[in-house]
Amino acid sequence: MKFPTLLAAGLAASAHAQVEMDRLMRLKTDHWNQMRAQGAFNQYDNARLGAVRPEPCVNGKSGPYSCDRVDMLSFLSHSQLGSSTKEGNDVWGWTSPDGREFGAVGQTDGTAFVEIDKAGAMRYVGRLPTQTVASPWRDMKVVNGYVYIGSEAADHGLQVFDMRKLLSVRGAPKTFNTGRDLTAWYRGFGSSHNIVAHEEKNMVYAVGTSRSSSCKGGLFMLDVSNPANPTSPGCVSEDGYVHDAQCVVYNGPDTQYNGKEICFNYNEDTLTIVDVTNKASPRQISRTPYAGSAYTHQGWLTSTSDMRFLLLDDELDELDRTGVAANNRTTTYIFNITSLASPINTGYYQSPVKSIDHNQYTKDGLSYQSNYNSGLRIVDVRSVAADPTGKGFKQVGFFDCHPEDDAAGGIVEFSGSWSVYPYFRSGYILLNSIERGVFALRYRG
C-alpha cells in the first residue's frame, strides 16, 4: 500500500532531520566553547570599537570593519548592555506611536533594550533577564508593542513584555523583573527555537519546541489578542519540526488562497506551506525538497505585495559543501511560489565571499542578510520576476562585523552576526553580533 510507504519515508526523513539538527547545535556549541576558551567574548569589555561617533564607510572601511555603502552609526558591546555572558543572538525592533525606535537585543542570559536616536546613536535603556537559565538560543518578535521572547533554555516558556515600559526609563538603565514586570509568562511549552509573529492577526507561533510533544516541534499557535493571557488554538504537526516560518494573509497569484492565513515553513529539509486559517484544522498545501539541501533554516518572501517568490537559506550547505554551495560561498535559494501546491526552485544567488548564512529579511526589493562571519550583506533581488534564476541578483552593500577572516576571503564557521532588523522608518539597521555587540548601521544605496 502507498500510505504505509509514504509514512515510513516521512518518518525516516524526520529522523534524519533530527540527527542533522542535533549535529548543527553540537557544531555551534563546540565552536562557541572554543571561543570562550580563547577569551573571544571578553576582549570587548573595555575596548573602544568606534562606537561613540559615527564611522562612515570610506574607502571600504568603517572604523576597523570592511564595508561598502554601509555606515556604522553607533555600537554597544554586550558587556555595555549588561550581559554577564557577553554573548549575543537574535534582534528585533519596535517603533512607538510617537516615532521613537527601540531594539530588543538577544543575549544568552537575557534581552537588552536600546533606543536609537535621530542621529543613529544608541542608548542602553534596560534589560530583561532570562526566565530560567542562560542559553545560546534566544529569539523574539514584536506584536502591537509587546515583545514575545522564547529560548532553548529549559522551562523558559514565553516571556511577554510590554515595550511601552521603556518610554519612561530615564537615567540609568533598568533591569526589569521576570515576575512583576512581565505582562505574562506563558508556560504551555518549555523550550523553543524561534518565535514567529503574524501581527496582522495577533498571532504568535513558537517553533522548534519539543519533538516529543504532541506538536512535534511544529507551529505551536498562540492567540495573543490579550497579551496578558495568550491562548493556544491549535498546532501544525503534520510535517514535524519547524525551524522558522513567515506567516501572512495571502494576496498572491494562487487566487484560491487569497485572504487565507498562509505560513511558509522552513522545515529542516523542505519548504513546507500550510494554510492555518482554521486553527483547529490546518491544512498542509505542499512539501518541497530541493537539490543541495543540508539543513533548511529560514527564508522570506521577496515581496509581500505580489507573493510570487521567496528566498531560502540553508545553514549547513556551505559547511557540508552540498550542491552549488560546494565552493563555501553563501548560497540563497530562489523559489517560484506562484502555485502554493507546486513551488519550484528556479535558481540561486551566491555571495562574493565564503560564509554560512543565517537570517534574511526583505524590504523594498533588497534582501538584508545576516551571514555569520561575513556580517550584513545587502542584495538587490528586484530582478527576480524577470529572471528567477538569480543571475540578476547583485550585492549592493555590506558591513562585515567579523574582520578577523577578511584576508582569507571568509571562513565557514559560526562567529560574527546572528541576525538583522531592517524595518525602522528612519532607515537605520540593527545588526547583532555573537561575540561583539549590537551595531546601528545605515545603508547609503
Count the alpha carbons within 13 Å of 377 in the hemisphere toward its beta carbon. Answer: 31
Query: What's the rounded Cα separation, in Å, for the pair 181 and 402?
Result: 35
Higher pLDDT, 335 or 10: 335
Assign 15 a pLDDT band (cuts: 50, 70, 90): confident
372: β partners: 417
Query: What's the rounded Cα separation, in Å, for the pair 353 and 355?
Result: 6
In this predicted structure, the answer to whether residue 171 has a pLDDT above a threshold of 90 is yes
pLDDT tens digit string along 242-287?
A: 999 999 999 999 999 999 999 999 999 999 999 999 999 999 999 9
Q: Which long-range contacts (CB under 8 A, 24 or more apart) does 38-43 make?
A: 40/415, 40/435, 41/78, 41/85, 41/86, 41/87, 41/435, 42/86
pLDDT tens digit string along 396-405?
A: 999 999 999 9
Burial string for 134-147 (b: 16+ CB within 10 Å, else e) reads: bbbbbbbbbbebbb
Assign 13 a pLDDT band (cuts: 50, 70, 90): low
Cβ distance 107 to 434 under 8 Å? no
In this predicted structure, the answer to whether residue 5 has a pLDDT above a threshold of 90 is no
pLDDT tens digit string along 291-310?
A: 999 999 999 999 999 999 99
Residues contacting 208, CB < 8 A, separation 6+: 152, 192, 193, 194, 217, 241, 242, 243
Q: For the residues 13-19, what does the mean pLDDT come to?
A: 78
Q: For the residues 62-85, what does the mean pLDDT come to?
A: 97
Local structure of residue 99 (DSSP, 8 states): S
Residue 85: name the closest of 123, 25, 129 by CA.
129
Q: What is the dihedral of CA 369, 370, 374, 380, to 10 degrees?
A: 10
Assign 53 a pLDDT band (cuts: 50, 70, 90): confident
Q: For the residues 152-162, what does the mean pLDDT come to?
A: 98
Q: In the chain, pLDDT over 70 holds for what percent of residues?
A: 95
- Report the mean per-residue pLDDT for the chain: 95
pLDDT tens digit string along 334-383?
A: 999 999 999 999 999 999 999 999 999 999 999 999 999 999 999 999 99
Assign 52 a pLDDT band (cuts: 50, 70, 90): low
Q: How far is CA 399 from the centre of its chain?
A: 18
One-letter amino acid for residue 169 of the chain: V
Residues contacting 4, CB < 8 A, separation 6+: none
Assign 16 a pLDDT band (cuts: 50, 70, 90): confident
Assign 17 a pLDDT band (cuts: 50, 70, 90): confident
pLDDT value at residue 156: 98
Assign 50 a pLDDT band (cuts: 50, 70, 90): very low
Tell me the three state secondary structure of residue 231. Answer: strand
Q: For the residues 313-335, what does the mean pLDDT come to?
A: 98
Local structure of residue 406 (DSSP, 8 states): G
In this predicted structure, the answer to whether residue 421 has a pLDDT above a threshold of 60 is yes
Cβ distance 335 to 312 under 8 Å? yes
Query: What's the rounded Cα separation, in Å, for the pair 32 and 274?
Result: 35
Q: How far is CA 269 from the centre of its chain?
A: 18
In this predicted structure, the answer to whether residue 12 has a pLDDT above a threshold of 70 is no
Q: For the residues 158-168, what does the mean pLDDT come to?
A: 98
Strand 122-129 and strand 174-175: the pairing is parallel
Query: What's the rounded Cα separation, in Å, for the pair 241 and 222?
Result: 17
pLDDT value at residue 46: 55
341's enclosing H/E stretch is: none
pLDDT value at residue 258: 98
pLDDT tens digit string along 91-117?
A: 999 999 999 999 999 999 999 999 999
Cβ distance 52 to 77 under 8 Å? no
Cut 0.75: pTM above it: yes
Query: What's the rounded Cα separation, in Å, for the pair 148 and 156?
Result: 12
Query: Residue for cell digits 500550510?
Result: 274
Query: What's the rounded Cα separation, in Å, for the pair 440 and 433?
Result: 11
pLDDT tens digit string along 179-190?
A: 999 999 999 999
Query: What's the rounded Cα separation, in Å, for the pair 14 and 6?
Result: 12
Query: What's the rounded Cα separation, in Å, for the pair 245 and 197?
Result: 9
Query: What's the rounded Cα separation, in Å, for the pair 434 and 40?
Result: 10
Distances (CA, A) of 419 to 6, 159, 167, 298, 387: 36, 20, 25, 11, 28
Cβ distance 343 to 273 under 8 Å? yes
